[in-house]
Structure 1
Amino acid sequence: MNLGPLEIGLIILAILLLFGYKKLPDASRSLGRSLRIFKGEMKGMKDDDVRGKDAARTTVRGEIVPPTPADSDLTAQLHEEARVAEARAAELRARAEQSRAADGTR
């Protein structure tokens, strides 16, 4: 599909009629910002994906790769948070049992 000079001119004329000449600079600025944000987010997702693949790779040619200090710190932190959450859940279950027992004796 080839666009000739007449088709391009008609497209530009239609855009000018739709948006007006005063709003075109603002619209193009907004489009540029949106594209810049989108590009930055895509780069961030790509970087996260690469980091995730590196962290998930625990063996290389059958040899275990030791975790980095940052990975072990994060793992320790997550284990601690899980332990605290389990303790809190057990405490809430015990309170619920006590209140059920107290309601049954009345």
Structure 2
Amino acid sequence: MTDGRLTSAMLAGALIRRTQGAGGFAMVLVKGDPISGVILVQALEKGEEIGLFERVSDYAGGYRLTACGPAADSEPGAMTAYIERRRRSDPDLWVIELDIVDAERFAAETIC
């Protein structure tokens, strides 16, 4: 970590602590590379899937969350199958589940 960026492990830990501190539920579903693994956030609200979001570079020195994978209302198991495919192509991938009101905004404020 020579360029001063926060590691994926630090960002994951901060997101989990902040979510739990705000009364939500958060957990690491898949632990990836601690330094530079891509972070996927599986967003839920009161147990209902909202969507899957990926932390990506905005090419201006920052990051943003982008929706990825199947829609939340797609067939059962579609989200799990998508995550499994992504893990096969990127074993360094992190998957973090958040269950909190406005999970996408909450995650963006914390890790972007």
- TM beyond 0.5: no
Return the structure number with greater helix share: 1
Instruction: State the TM-score, normalized to the length of structure 1.
Output: 0.24
Return the structure number with greater strand share: 2
Larger radius of gyration: 1
Task: Between the two structures, name the one with larger relative contact order (CA 8 Å, sep ≥ 6).
Answer: 2
